[in-house]
A and B are shown apart, each in its own frame.
Chain A
Amino acid sequence: MTLILEAAVLGVLTGGVYALMASGLTLIFGVMRIINVGHGALVILGAYLSFVLWRNMGVDPFVSLIVTMPVMFILGVILQIVFVRPLKTDREALSVLVTYALALGIEGLLGYFFTSNYVQITAWYDTASFPVGDFHITYVYVYGFLLCLAILGAIFLMLYRTTFGAAIRATMLNRTAAQLVGIDVDRVSAVTFGIGMATAAAGGVVFGITNAFNPGSHYDLISRLLTIIVLGGLGSLRGAVIAALVMLVIQDITAVVISPVWAAFVFFVVLVAVLLFRPQGLFGITVRDRV
């Protein structure tokens, strides 16, 4: 029982990190109607950026975000302008291929510079822990959770309390209408892609401290993130956050109760179950999209 409780707590804490990574992905879908298959690779890229700062200059991984998040933001804006914006026809299908190609390119470059050996970022808080009742929680999970909570909070504030956030929401609702009322949707799209990349950088740091990773790690990550945003309803930020928390709790409990090797499998089981029995979605948001 303690084990299950511990798994649930851990699931919530890591779920926060997945929520942050998935929020970028679902925002990008909402604004541009594209599936960014390269999101996992960009998370790994963020992890490697922090890894380099930490290994070569001894920068604390959380502090390194001050550098990596703006860098990834700018990179995201550039990627959007160069690779996503030119797609005019058949956007949805072509964008999948373009972002897939970006993922392969990033994987290749990372492999060239860092080889395919696994690395991990370490710090004092990745082993130190504090007791909670019958079990111990490692500090890094709490710090990571708080970081992601703060960034998610900032994103929600930006979306619902600023004019630019209103422009993003308007573009998500109806691109053409947003254009008609004078919103520069191209600029909104580029900035949203940048925000998505910045969240990938933040998610990448926590991922890089809690997991050993190599350039190929993005495949595993992206299949989980994509499942999360489908379960939460494509384009729904709230749905993505809830789905991430729920899925990670289920995953971590499965790892304890059944076996860690089956943990990732529950993503697929839940996805299939939802499609079969609740096609209207887990949280009242429809999973079947009409395009």
Chain B
Amino acid sequence: MKRATNTRVLTAGGLVLLVGLALALPAIAPDSATTNIAVFTMMYVGLATAWNIMGGYTGYISLGHAGFFGFGSYALGLLLARLAIAGGYTVFLFVPVAGLLTALLAAAVGWFALRTRAATFVIVTIAFMFMLQLLAENLTSLTGGGAGLGFPNPRWRGDFYNIPFYYAMLALALLALVVSWSIRRSKFGLGLLAIRDDEDKALAVGVPAGAFKLTAFIVSAALVGMIGGVYGYYVTYIYPQFVVDPLIGISMVLMVFLGGLGTVWGPVLGALILEPAQLWLAYNYGASRLYLVLYSAVFLLVILLMPQGILPSLGELIARRRARLAGTVGAAP
């Protein structure tokens, strides 16, 4: 009993400390190089957490989430262009609209994609992503095609430039975390886990698998779409192959696997480790194509050496130690 309250106090304290640190980061390290890394890291914390709701809890591996990322990006960009919104903080108010549009797309895609399971689902999501990329390229009158789509220029400048984007990404990452955490603790979340473990049995015991899967898919996609919107505003110019980027899609998956598939905090840990590493690799080896080779090597090492992810492996280690300690205590008269 006492141990339980202690753990809870510790967890709460740790959380407050972490969020406080994240909030204060721009004050601690205000230079634009650091805040740029922080923006991208926060972006991936959000992306990995959102992906985990579908891939981790429900067990449906989507390799097409980059499609939703790109769609959110284009949705926000087009919205701003059509409504002639000038650059500034008001742009952020339209991010939820981009999320809503992405949710609609996800509902449509989920309608047919979720008729498949396992391997076929993976393939359908890959196909979806490339077709979205093709649409962005071909619908030139709407998206600008290969020439790209511009966002309005934010009004702020200099070293301060990255900071509003950092807080926007942080807000979305926290939103994703709160959503993920509350799903994990809800009956809905239990239903998702049941679907992951055995969908037919879940159906048999009365889990509305179809509705649950679709809801998880939509929630996951909408979060990714909103993050894509902020990303587009941050980079100010987007191209089909750079926002509907397979590498973005696979990166969030890898982060979840590294941290721990299906855990609340695993995706966060995975993103905090991998994204700075990825940026470092891109910075040092980006010019030569060796960047991709190194990235793939890291990737292979993670999957082959730690298929379970860091958090579950750690959890197992702690559980084993506790069991051993309990064993010695119990053995003493």
* Chain A residues within 8 Å of B, Cβ to Cβ: 29, 33, 35, 37, 83, 86-87, 89-90, 92-94, 96-98, 100-102, 104-105, 107-112, 115-116, 215, 219-220, 222-223, 226-227, 229-230, 234, 261-262, 264-265, 267-268, 271-272, 275-276, 279, 287-291
Of B123, B289, B307, which contacts A109 at CB under 8 A? B289
Interface string of B100-142 (1 = CB under 8 A from A): 0000000000001101111110111011111100110110000
* Chain B residues within 8 Å of A, Cβ to Cβ: 61, 63, 112-113, 115-120, 122-124, 126-131, 134-135, 137-138, 200, 246-247, 250, 253-254, 257, 288-297, 299-300, 303-304, 307
Q: Which residues of B contact A230 (CB under 8 A)?
A: 120, 123-124
Cross-chain contact A226 with B127 (CB below 8 angstroms)? yes
Q: Which residues of B contact A110 (CB under 8 A)?
A: 289
How many residue pairs link A and B with beta carbons under 8 A? The number is 141
Q: Which 7 A-B pairs have the closest CB atoms?
A: A108-B292, A111-B289, A105-B296, A108-B293, A101-B299, A268-B131, A223-B130
Closest to A262 in B: B138
Known: A92-B119, A100-B63, A112-B293. 11 other contacts (CB 8 A): A94-B257, A97-B257, A115-B289, A223-B130, A261-B138, A264-B134, A265-B131, A271-B127, A275-B116, A288-B120, A291-B117
- B136 CB, nearest partner CB in chain A, Å: 12
Complex CA–CA separation, A166 to B103 (angstroms):
48
Q: Which residues of A contact B299 (CB under 8 A)?
A: 97, 100-101, 104
Q: Which residues of B contact A86 (CB under 8 A)?
A: 304
- A265 CB, nearest partner CB in chain B, Å: 6
Closest to B112 in A: A275
- B247 CB, nearest partner CB in chain A, Å: 8
Ordered by A's residue number, 11 sampled pairs between the chains whose C-beta atoms are within 8 Å are A83-B304, A101-B299, A107-B289, A108-B293, A111-B292, A227-B123, A230-B120, A271-B127, A275-B124, A287-B120, A289-B120
Given that A90-B307, A92-B119, A276-B112 are known contacts, is A223 also in contact with B126, CB under 8 Å in the complex? yes
Complex CA–CA separation, A222 to B130 (angstroms):
10
Cross-chain contact A112 with B120 (CB below 8 angstroms)? no
Cross-chain contact B296 with A101 (CB below 8 angstroms)? yes
Complex CA–CA separation, A220 to B129 (angstroms):
11
Cross-chain contact B124 with A271 (CB below 8 angstroms)? yes
Of B113, B254, B290, which contacts A97 at CB under 8 A? B254
Choose among A93, A105, A109, A289 the residue with the greatest number of B CB atoms under 10 Å from its CB: A93
Of A35, A97, A105, A289, which contacts B303 at CB under 8 A? A97
Cross-chain contact A35 with B123 (CB below 8 angstroms)? yes
Complex CA–CA separation, A199 to B180 (angstroms):
44
- A274 CB, nearest partner CB in chain B, Å: 9
- A95 CB, nearest partner CB in chain B, Å: 9
Q: Which residues of B contact A262 (CB under 8 A)?
A: 138
Cross-chain contact A268 with B127 (CB below 8 angstroms)? yes
Of B116, B120, B303, which contacts A101 at CB under 8 A? B303
Given that A104-B295, A112-B289, A288-B116 are known contacts, is A227 also in contact with B250, CB under 8 Å in the complex? no
Of B61, B134, B200, B291, which contacts A96 at CB under 8 A? B61
Cross-chain contact A87 with B307 (CB below 8 angstroms)? yes
Q: Which residues of A contact B304 (CB under 8 A)?
A: 83, 86-87, 98
Complex CA–CA separation, A222 to B129 (angstroms):
12
Complex CA–CA separation, A267 to B61 (angstroms):
21
Choose among B200, B295, B297, B307 the residue with the greatest number of A CB atoms under 10 Å from its CB: B307
Cross-chain contact A291 with B118 (CB below 8 angstroms)? yes
Q: Which residues of A contact B126 (CB under 8 A)?
A: 37, 222-223, 226
